[in-house]
Structure 1
Amino acid sequence: MAERMMKGEEGVTTYQFDRIRENVVKKLTKQAVFMPVRLGNSFWSIVIATPEEQAVSVLQGFKNRLILIALLFVIGVGLFFFVLFRSSILAEEVERRKKTEEALRESEEKYRMLAENASDIIWSMDMSLQFTYISPSVEKVQGWTAEEMKSLRLQDIMPSDSLAVIMKVFEEEIALEKTPGADPKRTRRFEIKEYHKGGSTIWMELIAGFIRNEHGDPIGITGITRDIMDRKLAEEALRSSEERFFKAFHISPAPTIISNLEDGRYLDVNESFAKMLGFSREEMIGRTASELNVWANYDDRKSVVEKLAARGFLRDVALDLQTKSGNTRHVLASAEIISLLKGKFMLSIFLDITDRKKIETQLRQTHKMEAIGTLAGGIAHDFNNILSSVIGYTEMALEEDGIGERPRRYLEQIHKAGERARDLVKQILAFSRKQELEQKPVLITPIIKECIKLLRSSLPATVKIVQTLTEAPVMILSDPTQIHQVLMNLCTNAAHAMQEKGGVLDIRLEQEHVDVSRTINTFTLGVGNYAKLTISDTGCGIEASIMEKIFDPFFTTKVPGKGTGLGLSVVYGIVRDHGGAIDIVSEPGKGTAVSVYFPLEETKKSLPEQATEPIPGGSECILLVDDEAALTELGCLMLTSLGYHVTSRTSSIEALEAFRARPDSFDLVITDMTMPNMRGDDLARELLKIRPDIPIILCTGFSEMISEEKAKSIGIRRFVMKPLFKNHLAKAIREVL
């Protein structure tokens, strides 16, 4: 230490010394602090020493005080920061409370503004269902002020049924409070009627829920009431509109359906649609079109749905639907997509054009028949001219002396064939309505036998003909051509039914008495005696589904080109005109029997007798006019053989000149109708101008330009149809002379 002091250093050190007290030496340690001190020019070192025990004691006391001071300091600082933190929290709490109070004030202001300006009624009530608050909008909606409303009870502002709804909802909600897990924030929505102060009734919608205390217990109810009168009126209008729609839907004569767009399931169909397809409504509703096999071609539905989805509507799409019995109905479909029952549906309206298409087909066939009729008229004229030559020359040949028995028989067959051909022309003209047939007493049996002869030569060997004809004479009032036509049509149909496998064609004729009037098919058979002609076959039979169509014009089951569908319709017309009836019994796979009833002719009229007296002749002068040279030559031969003097011309103009030159030289004029330059009726007019009393006979194979009545109105004495038989012509001449 001394060395360091001498060097002028400072520091702290310890040193030991002996302390003698009461002769007791004790080594003590002192703590010393030294530091240099300069005084003027001299150098000093100051030492401060203290016993270690004393220093330690002082330090220990200081330490204790320091710890205490530090502890007090820490406590003070802690208190300071606690107070500071608490003050900060309080300040924040105060600030937050201020903000909350401000927000609450703003919220209450907004709520108040909302409640006071809302069109809906905002309200609250206590658990006794008495209003505690109601917004001013109540006055605008119901006429009462908010204060008036608070003083009213629920039964004062609504009908009893509405009050019952509220009480029921309230009781349900109270009961629900006891249910574990019930949502405390739940609300209820319902509709009731309330009164207006003026006495009217208003539809209201209520949304309400409980007000709860801090424990979650209901202490009141709050809610919103909205005037839904306009909506209710709109709903009522919609409901009324829907009722009118469905009423129109069901009473509409147009077949109409509502079906699911996806699978075609029928939601509803009207009676017209069900009837069109042969179903009942109950059979169709709830089932799909595919289940009922309604579509003749199901791909048509896919096409309709695709087009409908793309365009939203369809108009007049031609489709084929299938009836319950399997028949096809042709329709025009119009459709739209409609929203109904929260789904997409197809509203479809159909126009059944089956009958129209049938009529169109019939019209086309009618046009064909008109063309055929026109053709038939032309054919009849030319054919009758040909027949006139065939029949006339045959008659002339039969009158020749010295012909052998065999040639005579041949000529007689030619003559009969000519007569049959003449009747065939009549039949063609009657069929095309170019000539009316005359009804007269006719024996049926000879006509049937003649038809059987024709059938034997035309039917295949696999078809056997059996005839059972009554021996009693069966007479009806008819035209032989029509009876022939009925029989040939029925036998031809029967033969066609046995075309593949052959069979038996049974022809029966009998008399039947009907003592009670009855209806057969569409015919009424009155009391009386009838000729019953039955044609039976063992062929394929007739399906029940087409039985009602077999008399329809142009309906045929034959392949195209094999039939016109007119045979049975012609038979139907002939039988109807005779006051008869047709009865058909058929079994598919076994055969068909067609019975035709004709009223018997019982007035004892005599049948036309064949002329046995000589053919009358004369010696008068006759002017014969025909543009066909062969017929003119034939006419000259016939008339000359009857004793007449004949002047012939093949030109009507030349004939007129010849008559004008010598009008008194002729006792009779026989002229054809259809000639070039001047027709026969025009020639007759000119001749009558020259000599009004001249007898004229007008002959025609066929002409629409003249009739017997028209001929008589001109002054023509007789109107005769070709082909001319010699005896008919001879009688006509004697009648006019």
Structure 2
Amino acid sequence: MNDPAKTKTQLIYELNELRKKLNKINQKQIQSINKNISNDKTISKSSKQKEIKNQNQKFEDITLNQKKYFEEFQGIGYQFEITNYKPILFFGVVREITGYSEEDFLSGRIELKSLIHPEDAALVNEETYKVINNAGYLSIIEYRISNKNGTIHWVRDIKKLIKDKNNKRKIIQGTIFDVTECKIIEDDLKLSEFRYRTLVDNVPGTIYRCQVRSPWRMEHISPMVEHLTGYLPDKFLIDGLTWAEIVYPDDLDYIINAVEEAVDKKEIYILEYRIIHIDGNIRWIFERGKAYYDEKGNPLWLEGVLLDVTDWKKAEQLLKESEERFRMIFQTSPDAIVLSTFDTGEYIDFNDGFIKLTGLSREQIIGKTAYDIHLWKEQTHRDKFLTEINKLGYIINYEAELNVSNNMVHTCLISSRVIMYNNEKHLISILKDIGELKDAEEKVRKLNTELEQRVHDRTAELEETLKILRNEYDEKSKAQIELMKAKEELAKALNAEKELSSMKSSFISMISHEYRTPLTVILSSSEILRRYFEINELEAKFYKHLDNIAESVQIMTRLLENILVISKSEASSLYYESSKFNVVEFFVRLIHEIEFSDKGVHHFKFDIESESIEVTSDQKLLKQVLFNIVSNAVKFSTANTEIISSVKDKGDTVEISIQDFGIGIPIEDEPHIYDTFFRCKNSGSMKGSGIGLSVAKRCVDILKGKIEVESEINHGSVFRVILSKNL
């Protein structure tokens, strides 16, 4: 075991050594703080000096307190085994800091780590680990200890690892000092610095310190300068932008002269001028500042505050413009306008309308009252007027009789309101002479009386006329009833016509179907006869008659199909049934059928780009369209002429064209070629019903396509059918 007396002496010696080291650490800290303050360009020189002085005083207070603690040993000396952290030695102001006795710790009844604030426990454990595992490591940390009475003490714990005198056992040796008062002083110092910085940063204006003479290079300028100019403080303090560089050029001489005069007289200068903001806009500045001098009276620098008064200037300009507008209205108003004091009623301003109304000169009115110029005819009217003004603060269209020019009395409407002018209550009044209006009202009253009599007389006449009109109305009512009956009969006739039209469509449909059956039988029979007589090798003349029968049947069949399409179209029952097919193959097959029936009279030619163009459409309706157009080309073309057909792929559409070299279509007939039963005037005695193109147009419309035509008399026609590939 170590001798406690010797150990305590050794600790005191080491504590003195630690005190010296701690003083050096504190000295370095205070030097670092003072250096940071000196380099802070946002703090004035006087503020820096004051701040450094405060820091030095705090350091002296901390040093004195530490010296006192060390000299009187106002701390806790301790030694712990590193194996079990059992205290070997515990002495000093143990009870003052912890509330427990030395024996409480030495006996193990209380452990030091149990008193460490929970938020600081990790830090203490980490430092203890470093001390144990790093020979020569000196740990200096601050943390909180909970006193037995519930108070919290800030302590500084200085410890290191040592060996006993036999160099066999490792021991943690340290000293704990109560630094609560030091912490309070440090917190006060931080709070003081924070308050100073907050004060500077939150001043609504920009605080500055600059050189005395133009161009006023800045030594300090607060952050609000960015809001004022658009430039950051560093632009002035580091980059060297001077204040004169952003002053509006026309105002620079005025500022220089005003500042120099104030500096020479040692007075405060107050300025209003313009600067150019970083965005190029003009800002108005209010500046208040003064110079600071040395002991000999020489100016050292300028300090002051800058405020953005652009909005004030704009408001001032608006107020000035408003006053000018008011003055213009005041002077040019045809009504009399007068401004008087509220308490005495003295006239202080008025317009020409008031002079004209009263018939007095400006000199006779200014400074006088309504009583002085005998304005009111009846005093009772004036008293009532003042009562209303005192009660409400305004009055509108108060009617009173006033003495006006030429010793006349006119009725006037008075509107007045209490206003503040030059911080005093005044009364502004508008007086409208309604004497002429009153005369006009009297004339209107007389005219109304005459008019009422005329109305009475006229009413009697109108009542008589009304009786006549009632009789006429009764007659018209009867006629109206007859007209309604006629309309009902007409509606019935129209319905009957509609029914008849419907019956016609039904009849046509029925007849078409009924005709088709026997025609089919005739066609089949003629074909059977042909085959039969071919076997028996009868004369060709008989075959010709059979061919005529077949051809006539086909013509009648096509005619009936066209009539059926027209019938369905008029009944709105013509629909399409789409399917996918090769339109080139479809069209070629149709042309071959017609070419076969033509028996070589015409020359059919094809102009086909592709052998396969797939479309989705209604084959039956498309056949109606193309058959009718090609049949017309054959019908209206002379023998041995060409019929040229083509199919072209146009992307989303397909174009089918039929060209002939026949009689052509007159230009005046082109708008009517799709009308039912219409025939061109140059068709002569050629066979035809006039419904082929009408049927083709209706079918194309159902297929959502279109027909285009180009034609020239005696040179032929070109019909183009354009259809969508996907119906």
**Same structural fold, with TM-score higher than 0.5 when normalized by the shorter chain:** no
The structure that has the greater radius of gyration is 1
Which structure has more relative contact order (CA 8 Å, sep 6+)? It is 1
- Structure 1 length as normaliser, TM-score? 0.33
Select the structure that is richer in helix.
Answer: 2
